[in-house]
Chains A and B, each alone.
Chain A
Amino acid sequence: MALLSVEGVTRRFGGIVAVDDVSLDVGEGEIVGLIGPNGAGKTTVFNLITRLYRPESGEIAFAGESLLRTPPHGVVRRGIARTFQNVELFGSMTVLEHVLMGRHARRGRRARKILGYVGVAAHAHRLARELPYGLQKRVELARALASGPRLLLLDEPAGGLNHEEVEELGGLIRRLRDDFELTVLLVEHHMGLVMGAAERVHVLDFGRRIASGTPAEVQNDPAVIEAYLGTTNG
């Protein structure tokens, strides 16, 4: 049975249908990619799963129970943690304090261990905002891991990173999954990362799911090539 299942979920903003009758699933222990061109509705799906938005119809279930009755602040307690596309850090807090905030609702591993794991232990007492962008993303990841999640949602983890950092990231995501016994759903623009790290991929276009399968299958899907890969030179 899937750890996360989204079934027939729709969400509109004014006249625009951001997410249109989308269904997708993520199995326990999987690394699943969610891809699609800009404006395809990927981040909206994340915000629906984390209850920041309310779906107009459809069902979202986590570990066999509906998520729709969980308040937004209760999602992390259910075992779902996330990062943000444009890095949402606490401006007044040090790196260590971010991890302590991660442990606010649910205790995962010890703060120091997590800082060491993601490689920001040396900066524990610096303000997170003052770090280079790549490290800020690590801090966000550390905060998410500190809550001891079962499902980790990564919103464009490669965004703004340089080539080497992206190379590292793929390995890190796989190691995270193994070491923390996680399930990972990642939204990503960077095709190399998704194709390398993800075991399965869901493709969105204009708010609809147009394909699902292994990276190799999806890459050869004519609908995907037309909607996405064809326009970005794959």
Chain B
Amino acid sequence: MRRALGIGAWLLTVAAGLGVFLVLPHLVSDFHSRDLARAGVFFIAIVGLNLLTGYTGQISLGHGALMAIGGYTTAALVVHEHWRDVWTIPLAGIAAGIVGFIIGIPALRLSGLYLALATFGFAVAIPSLLKKFSGLTGGTQGLRFLESAPLQVTGLTGKVTIFGHTMTQNHFLYYLTWSIGIVGFALAWLIVRGRLGRVFRSVRDSEIAAVSSGVNLAATKTLAFALSGVYAGVAGALLAIQDEIVNPLTYTFLLSILVLVGAVVGGLGSLPGLVLGALFVQYLPKISTHVSGRSGVRDFVYGAAIIVVMILLPTGAGGFLRRVARPLTTWLYTRP
């Protein structure tokens, strides 16, 4: 009986979430859907970072650079090879996954703050590297889809038709991003709940006990980095598709920090709060600007908001949700 109620509550939550996903763009202005699509990019990157940092315990301050790998893979394929933009997404994910795997190798010798600094170095170095190989990357100018390969941009005319259903380009970008986000979220959820998730957590909780249980630390950490890289790469590809341009300025180390802020605010080591983490990262700058257009005041509001959230929600939104829901879940899952 309680088990049925538990499953019912769970299904209801999923249905409500999907309902919000479908209806939301129709409740806000068309232009605003684009902001929501941008939040979806953060969401995907944050889910990926959480698999690595939240579950495996490996801090990365380099995820902005992995997003750059994804974004530039998409841009290079569109501009140089004339691929249709959306079809580049899987390859962008794979490319960033491979780079993530490679970054994971030094992580075998580093941990905690040292690993954070090493990955941070990667985040700082990537924009300069992008400027250097200008034949491929367009240098400081970046690559512009509309000038170089307009026919490859989905929704160039402002309308997109899928399965006989016509929508605006902004709605298309919203549904594209969040559909991928939901699938990525579901996959992450399956991973976290399963055997691999348990192995990830064992590495985070106690490396020595994990090894003694037969966990290959090197394989597990590099796998987590690679997996996390795939998410970052897909997020970067979607960012490029939304912007119709890639440029070193988009992928500065600030992007890496924003993704980490989103993961921490959303709740490391839990998944449901990550939507809130993504919305926080996307909308806080806009809200801060709303308070005051002067950059000093804006930055102050932005920084203060992060401090306040961390004091009020030290375990992130995920921890808060868990605490609020605990009486219910305890009741549902305790045998009478």
Contacts and interface: CB of A to CB of B under 8 A. Distances in A.
Given A88-B208, A91-B205, A92-B205, A76 B198 contact: no
A206 interface: no
Given A92-B269, A93-B198, A102 B205 contact: no
B118 interface: no
A77 B214 contact: yes
A75 B206 contact: no
Nearest to B212: A82
A52 B269 contact: no
Interface residues of A, number: 28
A143 B205 contact: no
A127 B266 CA distance: 23
A52 B206 contact: no
B208 A90 contact: no
Interface in A115-129: 125
Contacts of A102: 213
B161 interface: no
Interface in B195-231: 195, 198-199, 201-202, 204-206, 208-217
Given A88-B206, A89-B206, A100 B214 contact: no
B334 to A, nearest CB: 9
B209 A74 contact: no
A84 B214 contact: no
A97 B194 CA distance: 11
A147 interface: yes
A74 B208 contact: no
B213 A143 contact: yes
A90 B201 contact: yes
9 closest A-B pairs by CB: A105-B214, A90-B205, A88-B209, A76-B214, A73-B216, A91-B205, A101-B213, A72-B211, A88-B206
Given A102-B213, A143-B213, 13 more contacts: A52-B212, A72-B211, A73-B211, A76-B213, A77-B214, A82-B212, A84-B209, A91-B206, A97-B198, A101-B209, A101-B213, A105-B214, A106-B214
